[in-house]
């Protein structure tokens, strides 16, 4: 069968790659065309567009790139029509994907959504668009099934979270060899810095994250470079002696990190699943933040706290993200007693996520649906 998969970010590329592997294992004749990245291409998908060309975040950033976005939408429709897949699989990236889904449904294509739009966070009215355009939904967060089915009478499949598979399948590293390879200090514990994957957010986040390094000289700070950004982009941030950059090795860094400063997003959940105490950070464009604040009604912004429905990790958002507050929060999670509490909560979090097998389960459900 023919599958067309659309992922617009680094996290979607990761989950899309594992889904492609599962589809190919269960359907020996699978032909897959995709929007994604290097991982999806390596897994066997034919790349139609790389997510590096799509990474616009925030209301202002979207508006200033609106012509490019519309061109991408037109190209996507033409490419789908030419490929004529048996099913289109949307992965997260709801602003773009729901536009394509509306067109695709009218054009007669079967539509599936993997890693559902977070309408429980904002713009809940989009449920009507989802109901009218999506044939099958595969949700990855435990509270989403109740949200969609009980609140909105829209049947969905809870498949577990694919990050559990991705982390379980990631290569295990030798800490000494890893530190030697990247010229890290063997004695100093590592504080990982995960500033995001888009230029706009990294520029804002890294400066404030690095402002605390002088207060923690007994540690070394390692920036997890995003695969979507060139190493040259990070060079202005590498001026101090206890700061290092390691590109495309986020999971390796988290395996040996003692603590982490993490930009809000999927990375907060990844960090928790690696059992690394963290401080969640976010600072966006002022206008974009003011708009977002008025349409997002959640008590928390990190997936860790949302899933647990309590503050497991400290969140420092917008004006609260200062050098002083970040230093205090980092100092707290370096305390042994606080760490014990955080790690115990992480264990409960992992249980709630449902264990391994999300990619295989989703592939099986998609294929079964097509064969019906």
Percentage of the chain lying above the pLDDT 70 cut: 93
- Boundaries of CATH 3.40.50.2000 in the chain? 2-160+357-371, 169-352
* Across 50-64, 89-103, 213-227, 255-269, least confident range: 50-64
Residue 220 buriedness (CB in 10 A; 0-12 / 13-18 / 19+): buried
**What pLDDT was estimated at residue 302?**
94
pLDDT at 55 exceeding the cut of 60: no
Phi and psi at residue 91, to the nearest 5°: -120, 110
Mean of all residue pLDDT scores within the chain: 92
**What pLDDT was estimated at residue 292?**
56
For residues 172 and 255, the answer to whether their CB atoms sit within 8 Å is yes
**What pLDDT was estimated at residue 286?**
55
* Residue 274 structure tokens: 């690696």
Half-sphere exposure at residue 159, Cβ-oriented, CA atoms within 13 angstroms: 26
**What pLDDT was estimated at residue 22?**
97
pLDDT in tens, 178-214: 999 999 999 999 999 999 988 878 988 999 999 999 9
**What pLDDT was estimated at residue 287?**
58
pLDDT at 68 exceeding the cut of 80: no
**What pLDDT was estimated at residue 201?**
84
**Domain 169-352 has what CATH class?**
alpha beta
Count Cβ neighbours within 10 Å for each residue of 257-269 and write b for 16 or more, e otherwise: bbbbbbbbbbbbb
Cα 223 to Cα 81: distance, rounded to the nearest angstrom? 41
* Residue 101 structure tokens: 């889904």
pLDDT at 272 exceeding the cut of 60: yes
pLDDT at 74 exceeding the cut of 60: yes
Listed in sequence order, the residues at least 6 apart from 2 whose beta carbon sits closer than 8 Å to its beta carbon are 30, 31, 32, 33, 83, 84, 85, 86, 87
Q: What is the mean pLDDT of residues 70-91?
A: 96
**What pLDDT was estimated at residue 198?**
81
**What pLDDT was estimated at residue 340?**
97
**What pLDDT was estimated at residue 156?**
97
Q: What is the mean pLDDT of residues 344-365?
A: 95
**Pick from 287, 294, 278: nearest CA to 121:** 294
Percentage of the chain lying above the pLDDT 90 cut: 78
Give the helix ranges, DSSP H, for 49-174. Answer: 59-64, 66-83, 94-106, 127-133, 142-146, 162-168
**150: confidence class by pLDDT, cuts 50, 70, 90:** very high
The residue assigned the tokens 């097998």 is: 357
**What pLDDT was estimated at residue 175?**
96
Give the CATH superfamily of 2-160+357-371: Glycogen Phosphorylase B; (3.40.50.2000)
Cα 258 to Cα 318: distance, rounded to the nearest angstrom? 25
Select the more confidently predicted residue: 29 or 239. Answer: 29
Question: In this structure, are strands 278-282 and 257-263 parallel, antiparallel, or unpaired?
Answer: parallel
Q: What is the mean pLDDT of residues 256-271?
A: 95
């Amino acid at each position: 069968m023919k599958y067309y998969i659309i992922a617009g970010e680094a996290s979607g590329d990761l989950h899309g790659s594992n889904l492609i592997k599962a589809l190919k294992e269960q359907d020996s004749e699978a032909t897959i065309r995709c929007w994604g990245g290097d991982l999806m291409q390596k897994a066997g998908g034919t790349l139609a567009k790389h997510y590096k060309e799509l990474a616009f975040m925030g209301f202002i950033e979207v508006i200033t790139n609106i012509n490019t976005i519309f061109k991408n939408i037109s190209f996507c429709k033409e490419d789908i029509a030419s490929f004529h897949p048996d099913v289109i699989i949307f992965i997260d990236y709801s602003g773009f994907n729901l536009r394509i889904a509306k067109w695709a449904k009218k054009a007669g294509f079967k539509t599936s959504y993997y890693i559902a739009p977070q309408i429980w966070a904002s713009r809940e009215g989009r449920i009507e668009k989802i109901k009218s355009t999506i044939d099958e939904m595969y949700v990855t967060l435990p509270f989403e099934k109740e949200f969609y089915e009980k609140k909105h009478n829209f049947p969905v499949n809870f498949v577990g979270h694919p990050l559990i598979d991705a982390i379980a399948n990631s290569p295990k590293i030798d800490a000494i060899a890893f530190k030697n390879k990247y010229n890290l200090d063997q004695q100093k514990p590592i504080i990982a810095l995960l500033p995001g994957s888009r230029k706009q957010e990294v520029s804002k986040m890294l400066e404030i994250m690095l402002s605390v390094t002088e207060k923690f000289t007994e540690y070394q700070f390692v920036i997890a470079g995003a695969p979507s950004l060139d190493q040259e982009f990070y060079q202005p941030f590498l001026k101090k002696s206890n700061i290092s950059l390691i590109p495309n090795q986020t999971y390796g860094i988290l395996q040996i990190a003692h603590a982490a400063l993490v930009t809000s997003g999927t990375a907060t959940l990844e960090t928790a699943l690696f059992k690394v105490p963290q401080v969640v950070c976010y600072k966006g464009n002022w206008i974009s933040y003011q708009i977002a604040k008025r349409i997002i009604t959640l008590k928390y912004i990190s997936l860790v706290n949302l899933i647990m429905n309590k503050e497991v990790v400290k969140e420092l958002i917008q004006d609260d993200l200062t050098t002083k507050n970040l230093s205090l929060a980092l100092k707290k999670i370096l305390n042994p007693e606080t760490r014990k509490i955080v790690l115990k909560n992480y264990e409960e979090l992992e249980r709630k996520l449902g264990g391994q097998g999300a990619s295989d389960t989703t592939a099986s459900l998609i294929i079964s649906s097509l064969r019906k």
